[in-house]
Structures are given as structure tokens and as C-alpha cells.
Amino acid sequence: MSEEPRIGVFVCHCGINIGGYVDVPDVVEYATGLPDVVYAEPNLYMCSSDGLQKIQEAIKKYELNRVVVASCTPRTHEPLFQSACEEAGLNKYVFEMANIRDQCSWVHMHEPKKATQKAKSLVRMAVAKARLLVPEEEPEIDIRPTGLVIGGGVSGLTSALSLADQGFKVHLVEKEDRLGGTLLKLDTLFSSNVKASEVINPLVERVKASTDVTVHLDSRVADVKGFIGSFDVGIETRGEPEMLSVGTIIVATGADYLSPEGLYGYSQVDNVVTQMELEQLFKEGGRLDGVKTLVMIQCAGSRNEERPYCSRVCCTEAIKNAIKLVKENPKRDVYILYRDLQTYGIEFSMMEYDAKKSGVKLVMYDKERLPEVTGGERGPMVRVYSPLLDEELTIETDMVVLSAPIIPNEDNEALSKHLKVPLNSDRFFMEAHVKLRPLDFATDGIYVCGTAHSPKEVAESVSQAKGAASRAGIPMAKGRLKTAAITSVVDEAKCSGCGTCIELCVYNAITKNERGLAQVTSAVCKGCGVCGASCPERAITMRHFTNEELEAQGLAALKEA
Amino acid sequence: MTGFEPKIIGFLCNWCSYAGADLAGVSRIQYPTNLRIIRVMCSGRVDPALPLGFLAEGADGVMITGCHIGDCHYIDGNLHAKRKYGLLERLVAKAGLEPGRIMLDWVSASEGQRFADIVTGFTDQVRELGPNPAVTDPCVKLNLMAAKAAAEEYRLRALVGKEEKLVTEGNVYGEEMTQEELDRIMEEAVETEFTRNKIRLILSVKPMSVKGLSAETGIDSRIILDHVVALRQRGWVDLHEVQGNSPVYRAMEVQ
């Protein structure tokens, strides 16, 4: 762009996320004084439709030809702001972000003065880069119309079928020797009390019958290479390697249940089982006939220091099973010992109401004074202190049922490394953005659903699975996708044809042209920049990350305000 | 060193480290405010000339983080980062700057805590070293500028670019090199290129004789003479005038 830069700087409060720690008005005022900045303004939420409109209005009103937004991370919000710029007639590559939330206000919460200073610095760096930005054209790539679904539980089966229904081929990789996942172990599902088998079996049958879905049992993902549109996924089936070529990937690997060893007498006192084992007893039938008194204990291994999260489904599951037990035999005494009963939403709250009406006894316990389970003459003895009654109750029982939490799969760690997608602090897979991109990973072309993402019930998993399949379907339906213009360009006047870049490029994006000089195929180039940083003649420029731009950013950083 | 707050620049790769830094934020893990992050697509993008330039301009420390080895989004970009960092280390040492002012490490997208720990550790380390001497000592600054210029020259770049292949596949004659041999060649090349660029920088400020250059750099005048001959052949240096019996040289504008 030969015209003089006219930069607009937009500083986001992000509610209190930035504004609570960084002096936003001060940053705006500072930005106004930076070179080539002709306009600056704050907004409570820059990413809101109001905020985006303000940017577009300012682009027109102040004839901006560069835009800097100081807010959160470009990894989640850059595309949104870029398309706002495009709608207002600017090329998306004249946009730059300063990450003053994830890499500033959130990590310096106790140092507001220094955080403000750093935010100014980050804005100065972004402006320094923005001054040098130029519009770029985007190359297009092909998207293979084949999806990979990892995991053959209810989420994986649902998303595989949804992809097949959309007309795509699907590879379904399941680590066990049969399809179905956790639902195979459950008797009934809340809130309708439908048999789990009635939900899962038809899905399994449809997948088996589908000519579009190729099922790989006893298989694991061993290696992932490539990008959206052309992933090469190495899997291992009983030790046999195989290579799958797919365009998109859905992670539906589900989760595990905690085996609460040592908690509340589990595997020490007879007749202490988990809700999952109770489901199995329901399925087998018979053994519960003699059970006259039964105590369920909630949060058995969750919401503690080791596992601070709530497993979400256990309260409603306990309620469901308690109702079933008292309805089977109204003389039965069924207790649920809970910390906070989380039967969220009207539907599940109604179940709680039903349980109380049916005579299920709900006893709150205190997390500072946990219930105790010991072996008694008849069965397990439970002692629980009720803070509401301010007294300790002793319950002689036939059976204790522990509501053990859903826990992340052990192999999440390995898979997250193969796919280069993150896990959260609880070791579940983490989406790109909880509200804006809840089913995507930050890495394009990879999506997540079901309990791989967090503990959730079947209906939620199914919704997510269908959503993830729709997300994966978008690029595959289009067949082609514009990719970032962040590619390398060779200056033929400087190139000596030494071939260093050709040897270094893992994508074979660089070849020699008829004059013996290096030539980049933009659509194949992934923009890593290794060639540019290595070129002996310094003849290669990395678009959008040029030496001059990076240098300007660094020098701006050193120029403290 | 009370109240010294180091200025630290970090190059973070977009796919792992930058995401790891974001995760530190999402997890509200606190770390010192000194770091200024420059996002690059890959740690292999970090041309050693960039950190050297920032160090010459007064950065107290420069850190580079990429994906873990084996986890690179670009398959092996971080291996190239490692090779380039090797050159950076040599040139920083040649310039006489403390090795603790630069750092290369790996942070994945899921390692928010690790990222915060690395930043905290590096900030403490640089704080301990004190301000970058280049700010007050023109000799150090000159050295760093010479190191930067050397990193921009053909010879070192070509060597680093071919390093992997020379070690694994051998040269054009099919002779494989050991890493030790290559290290020796690299060290010699770094010494030569650093000195030549330093001479050129000195001469660009003020024309000097070989004797004068020897006094200025503390390098034996016979070695200086060899370099000056080579620099004249490259067209970087030319005769300025003859004072008495001594030729005085000046630096040429290089395109």
C-alpha cells in the first residue's frame, strides 16, 4: 500500500476482564499519540455486534487503511475482526491485534499499573507492525471430502452418521473391539428412563450397515500430519499400521469413570459399589432383591483438590436410580447424601421433586466432615453428619452406591499431542472458544464433541456430535478453502538458485523455475517461514510476518513509554 | 540492581507456545510483566539476525519458544529453530554477551503453567544479569551489530541451512560429516565472519590502517591484513588513502 497509513486503534474492556486490571482510557489516550494513528476508541466488548459496527463506522468516517484491535487473542478473535474489516472494504491483512487480555490483564491481575504499561507497549508494537502491513491475496486449497471420527461411542457414532448423511465418506476409529462406548454399560438413561441399549444399538447397526462409514476397531491414532483439507492420519489396528487420508477430524473419544479406590470403603467394605456398577446390577437383575436400605454418596472423588470440577451427570443419575429403587419396592429406604444437588434445568429438577415425593431421603453432608463407611454386621455402616440437623446419623445399610465422577481418558494427553490441540487443566479437550467456537479446536479442521470435552449427559453429547459434524461438513461441502496468505515469496533479483530453501521445505512448496531460481507454490506453502529465515541471500520474504514487521515490533517493544 | 526491570522480547510460535501463553491467561497463572511477545508462525522462522538486532538495541533478554520436538505443527520447524539457535549462541558468545540473555525452550498449547514458569525463570535470570551492557558500552554494541551483520551474510546462513543435510546425507561428493567436524567448521566461519563484519563496521565510521584496526580490535595485525584482503576482494572495503607507508581503508556501501 503506497498510501500513507491511517491507523485506527480499538481497545476492548472485555467487561472487567481487561478493564478491571488495565486502565483502558489511559491506553486509548496513549494510542492516539502513536505514529500514523488517526483515531482510537474504547469499547466494552469490541467483539459484540455493536463493537464491530463501531469499527466499521470508524473505518469509513476516518478513512482508516489499517486497523489495530487491542483485546484478546488472535487465535480466537482475529477472523471475526478481519471479516468486519472486509465488510467495511478493507483487506483482512491490514488488520493487527494486540493481545492485552490473555497475555496481559489475565496474567498480571495483581499489578494493574505494570499491566497498563505493558498494554500500552503491546499496542505500540501492534501499531508499529500495522504501519508496515500490506493487503494480500489468499490462495485456495482442496478439501478431501472424507472425515475421520475418533471414538465409537454415542458421540462418535452420531457424528459419523451425520457426516455420512451429508454425503461424505467417514473413517471411524474405535480403540475397543466393539462399537457403543459407555452406553453399553448403562441400564437406563435419565430423564425418560429409556433403555440405553435402545439408544445405542440402532446407532451401532446403522453405522455397521452404512457403506460410507469404514469402521476401524481395536485401533488407535498413532500419528497425524497435515492441515485442514489434507490430514494424513496414521492409525494402528492390532499393531498393523494404516494411513488414512482425510479432510477433517472429529474428536469423540469420550471419557472414563473414576474407580474410587479407598474412598468410602470402596474395594474394602463389601457391597460398596459405584453408580456404574449399580447400572450393571440393574441390567443383570436379581441381586438387588434383598436390598432394603441403600445409601448413595455424591461427589465421591470429585470437587476436591485433585478433581475440582463437577461431573454434572451424577446427581441426576443418582436421582434416577433412587426413584427406580423405591418404585420397585416402596418399603426400601433409599438415601442420597449430597453436597449440592445439581439437578440442573426444569426437567431434572422435576426428577428431584419426584424423588422426594417417592420417599427418597436427601441428606446434605458437609465437605469438611465427610461421611464415613465401615463394615457392619448386616452390611456397610454409614455415619453422616447433617449440618441442617446438626447431628450425626448412623445408617445401617445393605448397599452403598458411590457417585464417582467422569474422568478424562488417560490417552487424551497423547492424542492432544498428535493433533496439536490443547487440554484444559482438568485434562479434558479444550475448545477454541467457549461461546464463539464451542465445537472447534483452534486448529482448523479439527472438532470436538461429547465427554472428551467435559462431563455431560447423552442428549448434550448427541447435540454436540451433530454440531461438530455440521462444522466439519462446512469446509468439506465447499470442497475448496481459501487459506491464509501467510506464505513465502522469492525475490528473483536476489535469489542465486542455491536450493537451500528447496531442501528445507517439508511441503515441497518450493521448486526451481526455468531460470534455475526458487519459486514458491502459494497454495502448498503453509507459511512456517523456515525458508525465509534460512535463505543465504535473504531473498525470501514471509508475507504478513516480514523481517521489517518483526523488527519494527521488537524495536517498538524496547521503546518504553 | 534495585528497581531494574529487564526488557525481554519473546518469539512465540503460533501453534504451541503462543497458545500455551494464552492458556496461562485463561488459567489466570501470574508471571512477571517484563515479556513482550512477538507472534511468529513457527520458531524456525526466527532468523538469528532478529534477536541479535534487538540485543544490540538494548533488549536485556530474548527468548524463543516453539512446539516440543516431535510436535511441530510444521513437522520439523523446531529442529530448524534449534540449528539457528546454535548459530545465535555462537554469535552471542563471540560478541562477548552473557549466554544467559538468550533462551530456547519448548511449550505446548496445553502447558500454560510451564509457559509461566519458563517466563518467570528467564525473567529472574536476566534480572540477575543486570542491564544489557550494549546500552552503555559502545564496544559491546558494535560487537552485537557485527554479530547481526554476520548472521545476515551468505556464508553462515548457507552453513546453517545445509547443516542437517551435511550431517545426514553428506556433501555433494557424498562425504558425510560428523557433527563435530561441522561444529569446527562452523566455529571457524563464525570467527571469520564476525571479525570481517566488525572490521567493516569500524571502517564505515572511520577509515583506518591495519595497525589501527589491530589496536582497535586487539587482533593480531597479520590476521587483520588477511581479512582486509578478503574484504577488498568482496568489494566491501577499499583503499581510502596512504598515510606515510600505511594504507588506510574505508568501508564501501554494500547493496
CATH assignment at residue A495: 3.30.70.20
**Which of A99, A425, A558 shows the shortest C-beta gap to B7?**
A558
DSSP A21: T
Question: Residue A266 corresponds to which amino acid?
Answer: Y
Under 8 Å CB pairs connecting chains A and B tally to: 171
Per-residue model confidence as pLDDT tens digits over B97-138 = 999 999 999 999 889 999 999 999 999 999 999 999 999 999
Kindly state whether residues A434 and A387 are assigned to the same domain.
no
Has residue A561 got a pLDDT over 60?
no
Q: Do B22 and A537 touch (CB under 8 A)?
A: no
Set of chain B residues whose Cβ sits within 8 Å of the Cβ of A415: none
pLDDT at B255: 52
Kindly state whether residues A266 and A397 are assigned to the same domain.
yes
Q: Do B50 and A547 touch (CB under 8 A)?
A: yes
Query: Looking at the 3D structure of chain A, how many domains does it have?
Result: 4
Question: Nearest chain A Cα to B32, which residue?
Answer: A108
The ipTM estimated for the assembled molecules is 0.95
Set of chain B residues whose Cβ sits within 8 Å of the Cβ of A557: 7, 9, 36, 38, 59
**Is A555 inside any structural domain?**
no
Last residue of a domain, one of A406, A421, A441: A406
**Which of B36, B53, B75 shows the shortest C-beta gap to A125?**
B36
Question: Does the N-terminal peptide bond of residue A191 adopt cis geometry, omega within 30 degrees of 0?
Answer: yes
**Is A504 inside any structural domain?**
yes
pLDDT at B145: 97
**Is A336 inside any structural domain?**
yes
Q: Answer left, alpha or beta for residue A4, where phi above 0 means left and psi between -120 and 50 means alpha.
A: beta
Set of chain A residues whose Cβ sits within 8 Å of the Cβ of B154: 536-537
The cell 487424551 sits on which residue?
Answer: A412
**Is A1 inside any structural domain?**
no
Kindly state whether residues A21 and A33 are assigned to the same domain.
yes
Kindly state whether residues A111 and A209 are assigned to the same domain.
no
**Is A552 inside any structural domain?**
no
Question: Nearest chain B Cα to A494, which residue?
Answer: B255
Structural domain of A327: 257-406
DSSP A248: E
Model's pTM, two decimal places? Answer: 0.72
Q: Do A530 and B152 touch (CB under 8 A)?
A: no
Kindly state whether residues A173 and A66 are assigned to the same domain.
no
Per-residue model confidence as pLDDT tens digits over A70-116 = 999 999 999 999 999 999 999 999 999 999 999 999 999 999 999 99
Report yes or no: A108 and A135 within 8 Å, Cβ to Cβ.
Answer: no
**Which of B22, B45, B110 shows the shortest C-beta gap to A529?**
B45
Kindly state whether residues A242 and A266 are assigned to the same domain.
no
Question: Residue A541 corresponds to which amino acid?
Answer: T
Give the burial string for A197-228 (b: 16+ CB within 10 Å, else e). bebbeebbebbeebebbebbeebbbeebebbb
Has residue A225 got a pLDDT over 90?
no
Set of chain B residues whose Cβ sits within 8 Å of the Cβ of A75: 14, 18-19, 22
Kindly state whether residues A346 and A217 are assigned to the same domain.
no
**Which residues contact residue B119 at a Cβ distance below 8 angstroms, ignoring those fewer than 6 apart?**
B10, B31, B32, B35, B63
Taking the C-alpha atoms of residue A486 and residue A190, their distance in angstroms, rounded to an integer, is 49
**Residue A555 to chain B, least CA–CA distance (Å):** 7
Helix (H, G, I), strand (E, B) or coil at B250: strand
Has residue A425 got a pLDDT over 90?
no
**Is A102 inside any structural domain?**
yes
Q: Do B110 and A422 touch (CB under 8 A)?
A: yes
Has residue B56 got a pLDDT over 70?
yes
**Which of A420, A530, A542 shows the shortest C-beta gap to B16?**
A420
Has residue A317 got a pLDDT over 70?
yes
Kindly state whether residues A311 and A357 are assigned to the same domain.
yes
Per-residue model confidence as pLDDT tens digits over A191-202 = 899 999 999 999
Kindly state whether residues A267 and A402 are assigned to the same domain.
yes
Kindly state whether residues A251 and A265 are assigned to the same domain.
no
Set of chain A residues whose Cβ sits within 8 Å of the Cβ of B160: 534
Kindly state whether residues A245 and A280 are assigned to the same domain.
no
Q: Answer left, alpha or beta for residue A390, where phi above 0 means left and psi between -120 and 50 means alpha.
A: left
Question: What does the block give as the cell for A115?
Answer: 499491566
**Is A524 inside any structural domain?**
yes
**Is A553 inside any structural domain?**
no
Using alpha carbons only, give the angle A52, A57, A60 rounded to the nearest 5 degrees: 130
pLDDT at A1: 47
Q: Stretch A156-168: mean pLDDT, rounded? A: 98
**Which of B16, B33, B80 shows the shortest C-beta gap to A115?**
B33
Q: Which of A16, A441, A550, A553 is the best mutation test for B, with the most CBs of B within 10 A?
A: A550
Question: What does the block give as the cell for B100?
Answer: 544467559
Q: Which of B4, B35, B38, B164 is the best mutation test for A, with the most CBs of A within 10 A?
A: B38
CATH assignment at residue A439: 3.50.50.60
Taking the C-alpha atoms of residue A263 and residue A260, their distance in angstroms, rounded to an integer, is 5
Kindly state whether residues A265 and A397 are assigned to the same domain.
yes
Question: Nearest chain B Cα to A526, which residue?
Answer: B74
pLDDT at B32: 98
Mean pLDDT of chain A: 95
